[in-house]
């Protein structure tokens, strides 16, 4: 296997890890804010706060790894994406700062201030929307070369149906992933009112997620027929993803095995995400940039791959420990440790 392919698989895996962990975090913040504004905070806030407090610091590690790796493995992406993504990435950085300051205020300042909760919840929806623009741009047709430097056509980007279907998918997927996980989490805590409410949110957001995913494939048939053809060749991956989606929704609907439902959800996104990634090969930015145009030298590539695999080897056990010590520790989940202090 080529080093280029190993490099992109490692990066894609980090990005996938970020999408799952961050989705739960973003969605939890939104549901918390929504609960406060609809006077349901007595049902949701405790369970969400218990989830958020140990997890938030881990989330951005995946994103940092991905960005550092992207520039390390494919230095030319900095040239093509650096200037074009100045606005969306600046917005994303501001939103990340808002989220970080919310934790500080929530932990050390006034408890459950409505304004902070609202900003935090809103940033959880705007962040995936801002970051998903990268996927839209990579499909081509939005970046033009002017005096040998790339320029992003904002008007084209904002009026493109493909762009909006990707934004809708990013928001609905965040809420869907988060609601399914938190339903399982609330159920583990024997918090029936929270589990029932979150289960309803999971079922509500399942439909827009699958419709938006279908919409993206439909829009690609006009926007980038070559990519669309390659997606059709990988139909079996998307079919497995669809079947796993049905399994997740069925279990949530029947109020059964929420843990298995979440595992099926992970599987659903694995097949869809890697299927999309494989069908995008070899382009990083259609049609200007492929994996092979921009790859770093061999020594750098090997040392990066080793560093990233070592990073994953550290991250995965630390996530597992976090889950064992906090999230699925019976006393912590049910809030007993709080009452003892």
Instruction: Give the model's confidence band at 83: pLDDT under 50 very low, under 70 low, under 90 confident, else very high.
Output: confident
340 confidence band (pLDDT: 50, 70, 90): very low
pLDDT computed for residue 332 by the predictor:
65
Range name among 99-108, 141-150, 254-263 with the lowest pLDDT average: 99-108
Name the range with the highest mean pLDDT among 22-36, 77-91, 167-181. 167-181
SS (H, E, C) the chain: CCHHHHHHHHHHHHHHHHHHHHHHHHHHHHHHHHHHHCCCHHHHHHHHHHHHHHHHHHHHHHHHHHHHHHHHHCCHHHHHHHHHCHHHHHHHHHHHHHHHHHHHHHHHCCCCCHHHHHHHHHHHHHHHHHHHHHHHHHCCCCEEEECCEEEECHHHHHHCHHHHHHHHHHHHHHHHHHHHHHHHHHHHCCCHHHHHHHHHHHHHHHHHHHHHHHHHHHHHHHHCHHHHHHHHHCHHHHHHHHHHHHHHHHHHHCCCCHHHHHHHHHHHHHHHHHHHHHHHCCEEECCCEECCCCCCCHHHHHHHHHHHHHHHHHHHHHHHHHHHHHHCCHHHHCCHHHHHC
Q: Which sequence spans correspond to the domains of the chain?
A: 3-336
Please provide the average confidence, as pLDDT, over all residues in the chain: 87
Of these ranges, 100-104, 308-312, 323-327, 336-340, the one predicted with the greatest mean pLDDT is: 308-312
* Cβ neighbours of residue 116 closer than 8 Å, sequence gap 6 or more: 102, 105, 106
Question: How far is Cα 256 from Cα 149, in angstroms, rounded to an integer?
Answer: 55
pLDDT band at 338 (very low <50, low <70, confident <90, very high): very low
Q: How confident is the model at residue 208 (pLDDT cuts 50, 70, 90)?
A: very high
pLDDT tens-place string over residues 88-131: 888 888 888 887 777 667 655 555 567 778 888 888 899 999 98
Q: Which residues, other chains included, contact 177 with Cβ-Cβ below 8 Å and sequence gap of 6+?
A: 20, 23, 24, 27, 265, 269
Confidence of residue 331 (pLDDT cuts 50, 70, 90): low
Whether residue 202 has pLDDT greater than 80:
yes
Q: Which of 17-31, 34-48, 259-273, 320-334 has the lowest mean pLDDT?
A: 320-334
Weakest-pLDDT range from 57-61, 88-92, 216-220, 234-238: 57-61
pLDDT tens-digit map of 276-288: 999 999 898 888 8
pLDDT of residue 36: 84
Q: With a cut of 70, say whether residue 189 has pLDDT above it.
A: yes
What integer pLDDT is reported at residue 330 of this predicted model? 65
Give percent of the chain with pLDDT exceeding 70. 90
pLDDT, tens only, 48-62: 777 776 666 677 788
């Amino acid at each position: 296997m080529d080093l280029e392919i190993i490099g992109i698989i490692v990066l894609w895996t980090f990005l996938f890890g970020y999408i799952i962990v961050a989705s739960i975090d973003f969605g939890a913040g939104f549901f918390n804010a929504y609960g406060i504004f609809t006077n349901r905070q007595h049902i949701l806030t405790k369970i969400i706060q218990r989830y958020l407090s140990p997890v938030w610091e881990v989330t951005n590690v995946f994103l940092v790894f991905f960005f550092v790796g992207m520039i390390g493995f494919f230095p030319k992406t900095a040239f093509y994406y650096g200037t074009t993504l100045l606005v969306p990435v600046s917005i994303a950085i501001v939103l990340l700062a808002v989220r970080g300051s919310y934790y500080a205020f929530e932990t050390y300042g006034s408890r459950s201030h409505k304004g902070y909760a609202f900003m935090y919840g809103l940033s959880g929806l705007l962040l995936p929307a801002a970051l998903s623009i990268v996927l839209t741009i990579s499909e081509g047709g939005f970046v033009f070369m002017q005096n040998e430097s790339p320029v992003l056509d904002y008007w084209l980007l904002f009026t493109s149906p493909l762009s909006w279907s990707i934004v809708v998918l990013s928001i609905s997927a965040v809420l869907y992933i988060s609601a399914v996980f938190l339903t399982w989490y609330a159920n583990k805590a024997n918090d029936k009112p929270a589990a029932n409410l979150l289960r309803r949110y999971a079922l509500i957001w399942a439909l827009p997620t699958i419709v938006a995913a279908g919409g993206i494939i439909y829009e690609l048939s006009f926007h980038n027929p070559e990519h669309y053809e390659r997606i059709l060749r990988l139909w079996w991956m998307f079919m497995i993803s669809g079947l796993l989606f049905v399994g997740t929704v069925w279990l949530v609907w029947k109020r059964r095995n929420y843990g298995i439902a979440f595992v099926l959800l992970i599987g659903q996104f694995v097949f869809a995400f890697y299927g999309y990634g494989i069908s995008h090969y070899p382009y990083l930015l259609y049609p200007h940039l492929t994996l092979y145009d921009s790859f770093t030298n061999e020594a750098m590539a090997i040392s990066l791959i080793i560093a990233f695999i070592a990073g994953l080897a550290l991250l995965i056990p630390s996530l597992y420990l976090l889950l064992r010590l906090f999230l699925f520790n019976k006393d912590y989940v049910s809030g007993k440790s709080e009452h003892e202090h």
